[in-house]
Structures are given as structure tokens and as C-alpha cells.
Structure 1
Amino acid sequence: MGTNLSSTNLNAIFELPKEEALKSFYERMITIPITAISSLKKELATTVGVDRSKGIFIRYGWHNGVSDGEKVLTFPWENEHDLIYAGPQLHMLHGYVDNVEVDDVEYDKEKDLQSIKVSWYNSFEVDEFLKSGNQSEKPVCHTMCGYASGYLSTVLNRTIIVMETKCRAMGHDNCEVTCMPMEKWGKELEDEYRYYQSTSMIQELDEITAKLKTERDYLNKAYKINRKLIDELLSKRGLERIVDILYKTTGLPTFIENEDHQIMVKSGGAELDTDIDLEKLNTETTSFISISPEEGILRTPIYFEQRIKGYCSFLYSEGNKPNDLEYMILDQASLTASIIMLNENIKINTEQNIRRGFLSDVLSNRLEKDELYKIAYYLNFNSDDSYWMLTMETNVNTSEVSHEIEVNEELIRHINSFFKQRNINTIVTQKSGNIIMLIDHSSFEKVYMKRSKFIKQLLKDCARRYADYTFYAGVSSVVQNIDQIPVLHDETLAALKAKNPNEQVQYFEDLGIESVLFQIPDESLINRFVNKQVGALLEADKNSDLIQTLYAYVENGLNINNTAKAIAMSISGLRYRLSKISEILDIDLDDTRSVFSVYMALNVLKAKGKITI
């Protein structure tokens, strides 16, 4: 039995021998070797983690400190200092530390406790840690901090949180702690205070179980949706069914766009604000993008051929945000859409290659008429339908042939897509560096648009995508039979030869009799003809006055009176000019054959934009 010292004050107790002082506090005690605590600490760190292990030992120390604090309060004490200073004495009495120094006890202006600064020397937790030969990145005196906090909170009747600011295990000379009332710690307390909270292991397991159940439910639902997507993939029903499935299973409006940010398919409710620029929402990973406080888009790229070929997106409203399941579903939908688009791309490329081969054979006259009709029928081209052709010339700022071929092939795919989106039956190929388009006139007429407007839209679309290129188009007439395709090609080439640098589109039907000249394969022959007929006049007539006069004279049927009226000139003045023209060209202007040849040459120059009439 220990000596009854219940009437003795605290300072007198700590002057007693250690064994008698301990018996003054406790009726019965057990001793625990430091090595056992150290082993337990290592085992817990391994089994439940370093973070949770820290919390366990802080709470273990806390309960020891609370027990000692309650015992201290049963003894007489003169003031708050007695209670505060008893804590370090008990720390040393238990053997937790060799020496404790209270460096400072600070009060605020209202004489309320502000903080207590304490230094510890040779903490048992540090000694055990340093036996490993390592240096810690963080303080290790968890039990001691918990003890000091539990003790001070009990004796001062308010929550005191103790935080180690220096630790010998980190390389400092000694350990230093700051003890402060909880409400005075501020933001520094946020991370530390959670270690003082008693969390039931059962509660944690329940929380983990609930999370696992949610994850299981997510996986089950994602698996079911994935099965539906695979079924649709195998049924070859296309992207329309994909967005329908996503909408029905998630309730989220869904849409899929192509690489040009044009919406290909969408579900019910997928109405986008016209102000949303999809091109600015590019992302290489699955990302949620807030459009406004109320609206957002979860979108993921669709990859194939190692490039982004489109995007699959969910729409959110009323401030809703996506959960983990919706991320999983959208990723899987993106993969399914990628396979569908890849299959469709292979199908389109195969079909287009067959069509391109057919058109090349027709242009090269490699098919007999019966064979031509037969293949055209299988390619959905009726032999008796009307057709017209457009040949596009591209001016590129490069001399690399391989680059030009690559660009042309990409351009062909883009033009094919342009026509496909408008349901126009077309064959697109390239020949001699030009892009050739054979167009089924009956399917084109369903667009309800003039050819001129449509062609301008096509050129504008190509120019937007290929800003470094200049495009010119030669347009044929409309023929009533597919076997006249070579004629259409010749007409487009003739129109391109007559192109005006200021006009992107030249129509064969706008050419006059000079169209015959433009169909000559060797353009140098045309240039020699023009130079022979009017070269001298071009050289002499820098202001084009004589050229204008000659053109008007021919247009008015070689009639002097009508020509004079048309150009508001006197008869004598007109006769003088005609005489001068005759002299320069060395021809008789009454010779209709010679005048006709000159007239054709002027029309060639006019068509090319080299003279203005």
C-alpha cells in the first residue's frame, strides 16, 4: 500500500522517491517495456498504415494523459501553474522522457491562456526510432503529444492540442512542442486534429463496405451497358443506337460529333446552346467542362488511327455533375464509337476505292459500254440519269510530291464527307494532281440549291480547312448519259484552262466558241494561236482602246454605224482606229475569216482575265 498523501500538494509529491510518488497516484500499475511499444508501433504501421498508426498512438497517449489529469485534480493545488507544471513531472515519472523544460507560458490581453512552449530531451519514441539508423521526415513523438494534450485538456478543463514543431528524429538537437487551446490554432489544426478523433474500426469498415457496394453497383451497371453496346456493335446498327442506349440507361442527353465538330448523331434532349463553340472544348482525355453555373458537358475523345476522330459527350443541367459511373460509361461508349467509326471508315474507303477505280477506267476508256453500265448499276449510278462534273485545281506552296499526294488524299476524304452529309451521290478521285468529282444530278437536285451557290460553299469549306491552299474549279455542263463522262472531264479541263485569277469558278457553258480552243490538250498551242492573232495589237495598244474598239466592231456585225453608236464615237474617228488596227495586225477587217480568228483570240484573253471588255 502506498502512503496516503491526499492532503499533500502536488509539488511535495514530486519530491518523493519515484516508487513512492507513483504509488501516490496509482493503486496498481503495470510496466510495459519500451521495446514492446516500439514493436507494436512498427507492426501497426505495417498493418493499418503509418497515418492510422499515428492516430492510434496519439489517442493512446491521450487516454494516459486524461487518466493522470483526473488523478492530479484529486490533490490540492494552489494555482493553474501547479497543474501545468505537474504534467512534465509525470512525463518524466513515467519514463517517457529524461527531462522536460517549460520554456514559456503565454497569456493574451484578457489573461486567457495563449500557448505553452515545451522542450523534451531524450524522448523514448525518438530513441527507439533512431535505432533504425534512419532520419525521419516528420516528428515521431506521437504518444507523448497525445499524453500532453490529454493531460492539459483535463486539468485545464478545455481542449488543448499539442503539436510537435521540432523533433530530434528529424535531426534537431531536441524536441519542441507547442500546446494551445484548440480554438486558437487556426488553419494549422485542420490536419492534426483528425488524429485526436476516435474513429470506430467497425464504422470505417462499414464506410469501406458501402463504398465497395457502390463500386460493385457501378461495375454491374457499367457491365450491362457495355453488353448492350457490344450487342449493337455486332448488329452493325451504327452510332444512332449508341446514343439512344446511353440516353435510355443514364437519362443524360448524348451526342457524338466528328473531327470537324459537326454533330453526327444525338439523343433526345441533346439541344446545344447555339453560343457553344465545340471546337474550343477540345480535350485529349475524358473531362467535365462547365459551360455555365447550371450547364456542363462531360466529353471524351474518340480515337482511331492514333488520331482524334470525334467526341462523345453527355450534357448536364441544373448544376449537376458527373459521377464515377458516368465517366466509366462514357469511356466505354467512346471505345465502341471508335470501333464503329473505324468499321465505317474501312467500308467507305473500300467503296470509294472501287468507285475511284471505276471512274479512272471510264476516263481512260478502258471499259466497254456494256461493262460500264453494269458496274455503274452496282455502284448505284443509273446509266440514264443526268450527270455533271467538277474538277478542282489546288495551288499549294510546296514542291514535295509526297506531301501533295497526302494532302490530296485527305482532301478527297473531306470532300467525300461533304457530299455524303448532303446525301449527294458522288465519286471523288484525283488525276494529274486535280481532284475530280462526278456528281449524280438527280441526287444533287434534292439539295434545292443552285450549282453556283453549292460550289462556292464547297470551296469555302475546303479553304477553311486548308487555309494555305488556293482552289479553282472547272464546271462541266449536264449530260444525260453516264457514258459521256469523258466529255464532262474534257469540259472541266477546258474551263480550268480559261480560269480567271479573280474568279475561283469557271463554267464550261460560259465559254463561247473559244471553248473549242480550250479543249486542246497542249495549252502552249492556245498561247501561240493567241499571240499570232493579237500579239502585235497587245504590244501596241497599252491602254486597250484599240482592243475595245475591235471587239465592239465584231460584236456589232462589222457594221461601222452600229459600232460608232455603241461606243459613242464619230464615224471618222472609228474609221481611223479600224485603219490603225488593220495596219498593226496586217489583216483586212472585211475578211470575216481573219476577223473571226482575232475575235476568238480576244475571247480567250477575256476568259483568262487578261483583258477586260
Structure 2
Amino acid sequence: MYVRNNLINDVFDLPKDEALHTFYERIITIPITAITALKKELVTAIGEDRTRGIFTRYGWHCGVSDGEKALTFQWEDERELIQVGPKVHILHGYLEDVIIDDMKFDEEGGLESIDVSWFNSYEAAEFLKGGIMSEEPVCHTLCGYAGGYLSTVLKKPILVKETKCTAMGHEKCEIICMPMEKWGPKLDNDYRYYQSSSMIQELDEITAKLKIERDYLNTANEVHRKLIEKLLSQQGLEAIVELLYKTTGLPAFIENEYNQIIMKSDGVEIDFDLEKMNTSATSYINVSPGKSILRTPIFFEQQIKGYCSFLYDEDQIPNDLEYMIIDQASLTASIILLNENIKINTEQNIRRDFLSDILEGRFEKEELYKLSYYLKFNPEDSYWMLTMERKINKEDMNHEIEVNEKLVRYINLFFKERQINAIVSQKLGKIIMLIEYPSFKELCVKPAKFINQLLKHCSRRFAKYTFFVGVSSVVENIGQVSMLYDETLAALKAKNTKKQVQFFEDLGIESVLFQIPDDSLINRFVHKQVGDLLEADKNMELIQTLYAYIENGININHTAKALCMSISGLRYRLSKISEILNLDLNDTKSVFSVYMALNVLKAKGQITI
């Protein structure tokens, strides 16, 4: 049978049987009920999603076959080929009617989109026989067919998407046909149904993954067993990081709650700021070019008390096994740190009680020496004391006590890092530090520099506070420690904003006054002696003159020389001072009291000499 001039549209002027035989050498018919039954079988066997993919690709191959056949005929233009597609679709019996609602082309004649309406789709009709409406379009074979046909005759990938479907309750099915590149992000979900996949291959991949997971679990269980062994044998954090390094080959380290590394394996080099990595869950963080970190928090007492970390170089990425291992290591480290914390707190509490009893004078010498040895303090060593003070809010003392306890722990860490044997406690809102002096001397650091390091250490963690430190003298044995606390308090009374650290030994005779517990008595004494002079002498000339006069042994000639003044000028000033204070400057006893008051003001930074 030959068609007139082999024009493609002439085919559809023939009776249906002849038209089919013109298109196909041989065809078979499949009842719709059989296709529907097959679909149900596939849904049961492989699921709805895979079944949709199979029928979409089946329709695609049918469309490709008809498109290739259509190209063997003569046609006027691509528009004619596009319009033939619906006719072939109807010829197969997939639907009763097709209307092309709109066709859009770009300026160069390329297809932009086609809007089509389908009527009485066999797939929609079969679905509705089940008595329920679908939540999404069901004409998968028809969409595949349209996409395969258009892609073949237009020689470019066309993807077809059904937007409305009679199976969903709409009056007709509506589709959009667009070139693949026009869909953009909307393409991703539907495009996967056009991709062939092998269930055997997927099962093999899943089996391989399961084997990897099994190996991971076996390794993780073995690591967990070894971690428990380390924990029970009380080998500490060093054994943990060594096990992590040996198991994974990755440098590992553990931080405390203050982001200080307390244990690390070989290969750990930190050139980044750990304090900036606030993480409350296991996180993989890029810290610098070519270096990353897998970091997980260590919890106990419902707080983060440290971190356990792996270091990665170059393009390394942690696998599931490393995530499992680091979580187990974190749990083990938390138990170890909790045990250490309990042990340290118990020991510190015993030491704090011991210090409190010393300051209260509750020990006889024999008992004091015996307990000192027990707590690893040599009673015959020399001792030194620092007392730290900060401004506190008396209206919220519970909070202030809590801050002080955190400060005590932080200062203990400072001494521990430097291997200094010390007791850190708090009393009356102040932090007391009793230091075994020989352990400090081993640092070969001057006291002033050491105390400045301590202040910087505290300011890093407690930045909103200003700290002042009173420093005692050094006593020869532990039996003399009780006097050190009074010395530090006396030194603190001389504190001022320009001098955070005050040494007791730098105080002169005024140190006797500073040991009076009641500050108001000292202030009253000072006011009585020089209050009128302070009021009258705003530029401090008379006060400096009086101080120099006393310092130079109440000798006019020596004083005039020291001040580079004339004797007559000096006499005038001394006369004025005597008049203001109502004081005989030749009365040694009265002058000494004034001198004491001036030294108190000088020590407190209230006057500058």
C-alpha cells in the first residue's frame, strides 16, 4: 500500500486499519485491563515510584518509535510534525481527543513550549475505576509517549509534564511540553523517571553499603570495647587519644571547658583559635586552607566541659566510622573527666578546709605538720599568699559566689599548668591563694610578672571584671601562714585604679594602719590629720612641700634644696601649712601622725608625691 506522494498527513485520511499498517509492518494489541493488571503487579513488587518510571519509559520508547517512522514521510515543517503526534496518539487508542491549545516559538524559530489538552485518557479512566481520586497526575505512559515523540521529530530533548488530570477530578488532562533546558530547577524530580536503573545494580550497591556499615559497626564496637578497658583500668585521657590516633590514623586532641588542650596525640598542631568554635553538637569545620576539624562536645553535669576532636589535612572528609568513634570517645572522656572532677573537687575541698583552719588558728603545731604532709605540703618550706578582690554585687550574692567558684577552678587550672603547689579558696568574697614558695621559684619568674600573668589569665575568661591583688611577704614555714592573710588584706586596702597589684612589703609604716579591720577608722584618722589641708590645697603644692619637709628630717635647708626652693619661700609655705592644720611643725609626735596619714593617701593613690 502506497500513500499519495508519501505525505504524512495523507496517512490519517485512510481507514484506521490501513493507517496502522502504513505506519507499522506488524503490531500487537494489549487489552487495557491487562496493562492495568500489570501496573498493579509492578506496584506490589517494586513500588509506585519504580512502576511510574517503567511506564514513563515504556511510553517514551513508543513515542520514539512513532517519531522515527514519522520522519520517513514528507512534511512541510516542524509544526506539521508536532501536530501529527496527537493523531498517532489517538490512533493507538490511548485517548479520544487531543487539542493543542498553544505553541510558542522563540525569535529564531526554536520551540519554547506547547500547551495540550487530553480527553478521556485510558490511564485516568482505569484509575477512577478504583473509586477514589488521585492526589497527583497518573497519565505516565502518555507523558512518556509525548516526550519521546517530540524529542525524536524535533531532534532535541523535550520533557512533558502533566499539570492537571481527570484522575484528580479535573475536566480534562493538561500537559506542558518544553525543551529540557527551559525547565530549570523544576526538571529534577520528573527527569529521574526517564532514567533507566537496574534493581540488581542498586541491590548490589546497597549490599556493598551494608557491608561497609557492618565493618564500621564491627570496628566501632571494637573501639568501644577498648575504650571501656581504658576507662576501667583508669589509664586516663592520654590512653584515649593514643587509641584514637592508632585506630583512625588521625591526630586527636581533647580540650577542657576553657578551650585549653589537656591531651593530644602525635601530629597535633593548632594554629587557629579554638575559642571561636562554639559547637553544641558534633560538627565538621573548615578552620584554615587545607585543614579541617571534626569536633564533638564532652558533656557532664548537663554542661559542656570540653571537646574531643580529629584533625584533617588537604581534602580529607570524615566518614561514618569516624563520626561513630568520636562520639564514643566523647562519652568515655566525659566519664573520665567527671571522675577527675570529683576527685579534684574532693581534694580541693579538703585543702580549702585545711587553709580555713590554719587562718582561724585551729591547729596545734604537731597536728598542722601532720596534715601538711598528708596534703603534700612540706611544713618546713616557705609560703606566700595572694588575695584577689573584684567588685561584687551584694544584692545578688548567690550569683557572686557562683562566679567566685568558677574563678577558683580557673585559677587552680593556672597553677596546675605551671606545676605550682597551691591552695585556692574564697573567703568573704575574696579569692585566697596560698602558694608553696619553692614550687613558684622553679618557674624562675619575678613575682610581679607572675601575678600579671595570673591577672591576664583571669581577664580572658572574666573580661567584665577588674581584679586587684594584695601580695603578702614570704614566711619561713607553714606555722606562720596565718599572718599572711592579714598582710594581703592590708595591701588591698592600698589598692587604686592605677595599681592593680599591691605588695605588702612596699607599704611603709602605714601598713600598721592598713591592718585595722574597720576602714572607717582609717578614713577618720586621715581626715582628722590632713582633711583641712586637702580641702585647702587643691593643686597639692602644700601637701608635697609638707611631705618633703618630713622626709628630709624636718630640716629646712635640706628640704629647700630637695624642692629647689628658696628658704624664705619654703618658710612661707610651712607657715601656711601650720596655720591650716593648726599644727606645730616642731612637734615630732604630731608630725609623725600627719606623715602616717599622708602615706595612707599616697598608698591608695589619692595623692601623688
Instruction: State the TM-score, normalized to the length of structure 1.
Output: 0.88
Query: 1:560: how far off?
Result: 2.5
Partner of 1:412: 408
Paired residue secondary structure (1:399): helix
Contact 2:472 2:505 in 1 (8 A): yes
Question: Residue by residue, what CA displacement relative to the aligned partner does 1:163-183 show, whole Å, maximum 9, x if unpaired?
Answer: 334434456542233556768
Partner of 1:482: 478
Contact 1:160 1:179 in 2 (8 A): yes
Query: 1:287: how far off?
Result: 2.0
Change (3 A) 1:6 1:158: farther
Contact 1:301 1:312 in 2 (8 A): yes
Partner of 1:32: 31
Which blocks of at least 5 consecutive residues in structure 1 are unaligned?
none
Distance 1:232 1:469 in 2: 41
The aligned amino acid for 2:606 is K
Paired residue secondary structure (2:402): helix
Change (3 A) 1:188 1:600: closer
Partner of 1:52: 50
Contact 2:163 2:174 in 1 (8 A): yes
Residue 462 (structure 1) aligned with residue 461 (structure 2): no
Query: 1:119: how far off?
Result: 2.6
Query: 1:481: how far off?
Result: 0.7
Distance 1:426 1:288 in 2: 39
Partner of 2:350: 354
Partner of 1:97: 95
Q: State the identity %.
A: 68
**Mean Cα displacement is larger for which, 515-524 or 48-57?**
48-57
Distance 1:402 1:111 in 2: 81
Partner of 1:216: 214
Kindly report which structure 2 residues correspond to 1:562-573, keeping only aligned pairs within 5 A, or say none.
Answer: 562-573=558-569
Distance 1:341 1:467 in 2: 26
Query: 1:66: how far off?
Result: 5.6
Distance 2:369 2:421 in 1: 16
Query: 1:112: how far off?
Result: 7.6
Contact 2:393 2:400 in 1 (8 A): no
Distance 1:157 1:408 in 2: 79
Query: 1:482: how far off?
Result: 0.9
Contact 1:474 1:493 in 2 (8 A): yes
Query: 1:341: how far off?
Result: 2.0
**Mean Cα displacement is larger for which, 603-612 or 380-389?**
603-612
Kindly report which structure 2 residues correspond to 1:597-612, keeping only aligned pairs within 5 A, or say none.
Answer: 597-612=593-608
Partner of 1:424: 420
Change (3 A) 1:391 1:39: farther
Query: 1:550: how far off?
Result: 2.5
Partner of 1:258: 256
Query: 1:392: how far off?
Result: 0.9
Of residues 586, 592, 598 in structure 2, which corresponds to 1:596? Answer: 592
Distance 1:310 1:362 in 2: 35
Question: Residue by residue, what CA displacement relative to the aligned partner does 1:257-309 show, whole Å, maximum 9, x if unpaired?
Answer: 23332222222221123xx2222232222222223442222222222223222
Paired residue secondary structure (2:473): coil
Question: Residue by residue, what CA displacement relative to the aligned partner does 1:53-107 show, whole Å, maximum 9, x if unpaired?
Answer: 211221233355566678x679977778887666534533443212223456777
Contact 2:259 2:306 in 1 (8 A): yes
Contact 1:313 1:330 in 2 (8 A): yes
Change (3 A) 1:155 1:585: closer
**Mean Cα displacement is larger for which, 5-14 or 347-356?**
5-14
Which blocks of at least 5 consecutive residues in structure 2 are unaligned?
none
**Mean Cα displacement is larger for which, 52-61 or 505-514?**
52-61
**Mean Cα displacement is larger for which, 240-249 or 148-157?**
148-157
Distance 1:370 1:470 in 2: 41
Kindly report which structure 2 residues correspond to 1:287-366, keeping only aligned pairs within 5 A, or say none.
Answer: 287-366=283-362
Change (3 A) 1:592 1:134: farther
Query: 1:390: how far off?
Result: 0.7
Distance 2:85 2:220 in 1: 58
Contact 2:98 2:119 in 1 (8 A): yes
Kindly report which structure 2 residues correspond to 1:411-560, keeping only aligned pairs within 5 A, or say none.
Answer: 411-560=407-556
Paired residue secondary structure (1:272): coil
Instruction: State the TM-score, normalized to the length of structure 2.
Output: 0.88
Change (3 A) 1:190 1:581: closer
Kindly report which structure 2 residues correspond to 1:571-590, keeping only aligned pairs within 5 A, or say none.
Answer: 571-590=567-586
Quote the RMSD (CA, aligned, Å). 3.4
Partner of 1:204: 202
The aligned amino acid for 1:32 is P
The aligned amino acid for 1:198 is S
Distance 1:357 1:46 in 2: 76
Kindly report which structure 2 residues correspond to 1:156-195, keeping only aligned pairs within 5 A, or say none.
Answer: 161-170=159-168, 172-179=170-177, 189-195=187-193
Paired residue secondary structure (1:353): helix
Contact 1:256 1:263 in 2 (8 A): yes
Paired residue secondary structure (1:400): helix
Contact 1:387 1:481 in 2 (8 A): yes
Distance 2:547 2:154 in 1: 115
Change (3 A) 1:172 1:536: same
Distance 1:46 1:271 in 2: 57
Distance 1:108 1:570 in 2: 106
Query: 1:6: how far off?
Result: 7.6
Paired residue secondary structure (1:313): strand
Question: Residue by residue, what CA displacement relative to the aligned partner does 1:243-266 show, whole Å, maximum 9, x if unpaired?
Answer: 222222222222222333222222
Distance 1:500 1:473 in 2: 11
Paired residue secondary structure (1:381): coil
Change (3 A) 1:524 1:291: closer
Distance 1:46 1:474 in 2: 83
Query: 1:474: how far off?
Result: 0.7
The aligned amino acid for 2:598 is L
Contact 2:71 2:153 in 1 (8 A): no
Contact 1:397 1:468 in 2 (8 A): no
Question: Residue by residue, what CA displacement relative to the aligned partner does 1:380-435 show, whole Å, maximum 9, x if unpaired?
Answer: 11101111111111103562111111111111111111211221111111111111
